[in-house]
Amino acid sequence: MKKAAVMVNVVVGVLVVLAAAPTTQALTTEAQSSQLFILPLTHHNFSFESAGVSYVPSLLNMPDLPSWLHYSYSPAVFTGFVYGVPPEGLQDFQVEVVARDTHTYETAHRVIRVDVEQQPKKPFEVGFKIKNMNVDELLVGHRWDRLYNVIHNDLWNKSAHDLTVTYLASATQHGDRLPARPDVKEGVYVTYGSSMPFSAALLELEKEVKPLWDHHPCPSYFKKASYERFFRQHNFAVDWCSFRLNNNSVQSERMRQNMIVEDKDLRSPVISALENEGRVHLMRRDEVEKRSYTFDVVHTILIPLVVMVVLLGLLTLAMCCHRTNMDQSSSDFFDELFDDFPRIPKGQDIQMVQYASFHRATEALRSLKGREHSPHPSTATTTTQVDTLTRSRTASPSSTLPRNSTLGSRRFEDYATLSRPDPPPYQRNGMTPTR
């Protein structure tokens, strides 16, 4: 609470200095590196009577603010805020503000010099996102103090003497997408830092929400966190997928510096120019590193081609060279399987099954007609049927059996018909027909 009061006093002091200074005089204020700096802008600072004033801040002699400095306007209190965290190594910077009265179109110009006091970065930081607010809504009123009290009193009690804000940016400035609906808030990313180690509550909370880090976007059906009640009491909706604990120890700081150096090497000339106040360093053609693509070609084309040729050769050997033995073994297997069945000569055509069935039916009708008035049915039937079957089996040009077959090679059905009784004579209109 003491730190929040000090910050409020600094903001009020800046307002008083801006209001008391003449329009043409350059103002001076102070900030600390690695800590949040807030510069409020009101119509009283520029001697305007109306509160409807628009502001255009930028670095002196530059078209816009640097990447670490942001601007937000709150229509609720008619106040603009220039805020950001000065990076380490920055000694001072100058902010140029052009104000314009929207009613009278009168303009005013101010240059504010900010002296940066070097402070070491906090080794322990906790960061999260507030979903239901914008930056301007968080900075006005008592919301800023209430959020500070939640972190200080409920989650991190031992950090009371040096708890500070080390990062503040809207969700769009942080890299998130702008909401599709105008009534949806953008969200605010906030980071608090301290020299005291993390409390047990913060470690437990990180362990609880850690499974959510791999989900994009953050699932809305996730159960409420155990410490969410402290934020809900003051109307803060926290996005737990963005909750992080950062330990900026000596080793972590070295890794961060190495990553910054590598990132600078990979940045485009345009971004480097914006961050280096217009100085662009472009490489000459002879400075570009030359490399050989031989290994890439071998690894991408030749190795798969060799593997494909080897597999094709093995498949050819399996299908062509081993074919004779496979055919002979298959032929032997079928010969053993069908030895008990009569074989058909190769030169003889195979008749259709339907034709053979009709042929047998015709021969049966002929045998019935010949034995219709025989004096001895059994003898006549036997003789006629045997003769008919013999003639039909041997004389038919369409027989499916060899011509040298004998009576002993006939089927069992042919012998079963010899002992059958004669069918009754056919009658027409109840009368026995006469020949």
Fold exhibited by the domain 2-117: Immunoglobulin-like (2.60.40)
> How far apart are the C-alpha atoms of 283 and 281, rounded to whole Å?
7
Q: Is the model's pLDDT at 179 over the cut of 90?
A: no
| Structural contact between residues 120 and 164, judged by C-beta atoms closer than 8 angstroms | no
Average pLDDT on 78-88 reads 91
Phi, psi of 15 (to 5 degrees): -60, -45
pLDDT in tens, 12-47: 444 434 443 444 456 888 999 889 999 999 888 888
Closest CA to 212 of 204, 222, 203: 222
Closest CA to 90 of 118, 62, 59, 121: 118
CB atoms closer than 10 angstroms to residue 272? 14
pLDDT in tens, 387-397: 444 444 444 44
Place of tokens 């909750």: 243
How does residue 360 score in pLDDT terms, banded at 50, 70 and 90? Answer: confident
For the chain, domain boundaries: 2-117, 124-248, 350-397
CB half-sphere exposure, 268, CA atoms < 13 A: 3
- pLDDT for res 292: 85
Q: In this structure, what token pair is assigned to residue 11?
A: 């903001």
> How far apart are the C-alpha atoms of 47 and 44, rounded to whole Å?
5
> How far apart are the C-alpha atoms of 332 and 187, rounded to whole Å?
82
| Structural contact between residues 71 and 37, judged by C-beta atoms closer than 8 angstroms | no
Q: In this structure, what token pair is assigned to residue 368?
A: 């019935």
* 32 strand-pairing partners: 117
Place of tokens 């003898």: 379
Amino acid at the residue 15: L
Closest CA to 51 of 99, 97, 9, 95: 99
pLDDT in tens, 298-346: 889 999 999 999 999 999 888 887 655 556 666 676 666 666 555 555 4
The dihedral built from the CA positions of residue 317, 318, 323 and 326, taken in this order, carries a sign that is: positive
The pLDDT mean for the chain works out to 75
Closest CA to 83 of 66, 98, 69, 63: 69
- pLDDT for res 88: 85
- pLDDT for res 71: 92
| Structural contact between residues 215 and 199, judged by C-beta atoms closer than 8 angstroms | no
pLDDT in tens, 247-281: 887 555 555 566 555 555 555 555 555 555 555 56
Percent of the residues in the chain that have a pLDDT greater than 70, as a whole number: 62
Give the H or E element holding residue 100: strand 92-101
Closest CA to 227 of 214, 242, 245, 240: 240
